[in-house]
A and B are shown apart, each in its own frame.
Chain A
Amino acid sequence: MKLMMAFMPSCKEVAKTLCGEGLAAEPWGRRLMIRLHLSQCEFCARFGRQMERICEALKAAWAEPSGEDVEAFKRRVVARLGSS
């Protein structure tokens, strides 16, 4: 247990990973330790969930526009390009 704790990342290191390239970019051993940390630390787990929710909200807000106005815009652009 003591050995495991020696390898356990701090909250600050976990937060840095969650704000960076994420767990997927970490080596498996480190990924495991971060997952273990997240399962035991309420604050880091909250921090991680918030990061995910923020990303989801912006994906929805910045989704590709669609609809008739976009189709009309496409036609205008094609007409402009055809005459350029």
Chain B
Amino acid sequence: MQTPPKRWSVEDLRARKPEALTAMVDDHLPSLLGGALAIGLPRADAEEVVQETFVAFLSALDRFEGRSSLRTYLFGILYHKASRLREKARRTEGSDDIEALVEARFDSGGMWSRPPRGPEAESLDAETRRWVETCAEGLPDAQRTAFFLKEVEGETSESVCNVLGVTATNLRVMLHRARLKLRECLERNWGKNP
């Protein structure tokens, strides 16, 4: 995704010039709020975390060296704040056995022994879309955030790695597992009421 044109300077922000603050918030608030909601925060908590992200950025403005884009930098702050907030409520995640589950669907020659079932229409109906959202809620925060940044926001792998503090290999594994889990979950629940 393209970074919006910068309509403010660090000096303007430091001086708390209203037009600079407005421009920065205009540029970045909607995607940050979308990210906080995608991570799984309720709306009120998402707004709180987004607000605190901007406050933290402004109060430590001198630490922003411009090595990453502001967007990536803000998402990094947001992700850590959201993760801390969710730590208490987070479910204990069982072992990640999705690879073994998928492995078992193929025979020794790599052919499907248990072929995929589930929806395959050109577009998903409302009920199936709700199932996709419900299945996404079951993903660990980091996988959900990776999926949001990469697939929805169109961020580069390098940016996503910076936000999450993971290596490129870790990110590939996270996205791979997220996609597998979403599809398995959808297949398991397809046809049931969400």
Closest Cβ–Cβ distance, residue B8 to chain A (whole Å): 12
Give the distance to chain A from B124, nearest Cβ to Cβ, in Å. 5
Q: Would A59 and B124 count as touching, CB distance under 8 A?
A: no
The answer to whether B38 has its CB under 8 Å from any CB of chain A is yes
State the Cβ distance, A50 to closest chain B Cβ, in Å: 6
Within 8 A of B (CB), among A41-83: 43-44, 46-47, 49-51, 53-66, 70, 73-74, 76-78, 80-82
Give the interface residue-count category, chain B.
Answer: 35 or more
CB contacts (< 8 Å) of A2 on chain B: these are none
Which one of B29, B124, B129, B186 contacts A74 once the chains associate, using CB atoms below 8 Å? B29
**Contact, CB under 8 Å: A57 / B128:** yes
Q: Is the interface of A mostly helix, strand, loop or mixed?
A: helix
Chain B residues within 8 Å of A38, by CB: none
Query: In the complex, what's the smallest C-beta–C-beta distance from A72 to chain B, in angstroms?
Result: 10
The residue in chain A whose Cβ has the minimal distance to the Cβ of B157 is A21
Q: A53-B123, A74-B26, A81-B54 are in contact. Are A61 and B33 (CB under 8 A)?
A: no
B110:A12 contact, CB within 8 angstroms: yes
A-B contact pairs, 17 of them (CB 8 A): A19-B183, A43-B116, A46-B116, A46-B120, A53-B123, A53-B124, A54-B182, A56-B123, A58-B133, A58-B136, A58-B148, A63-B152, A65-B34, A65-B37, A66-B30, A73-B29, A82-B21
Using a CB–CB cutoff of 8 Å, the interface residues on chain B facing chain A are 16, 18, 21-22, 25-26, 29-31, 33-34, 37-38, 47, 50-51, 54-55, 58-59, 102, 106, 109-112, 115-116, 118-121, 123-124, 128-129, 132-133, 136, 147-148, 151-152, 172, 175-176, 179-180, 182-183, 186-187
Kindly report which residue of chain A lies nearest to residue B173, judged by CB atoms: A20
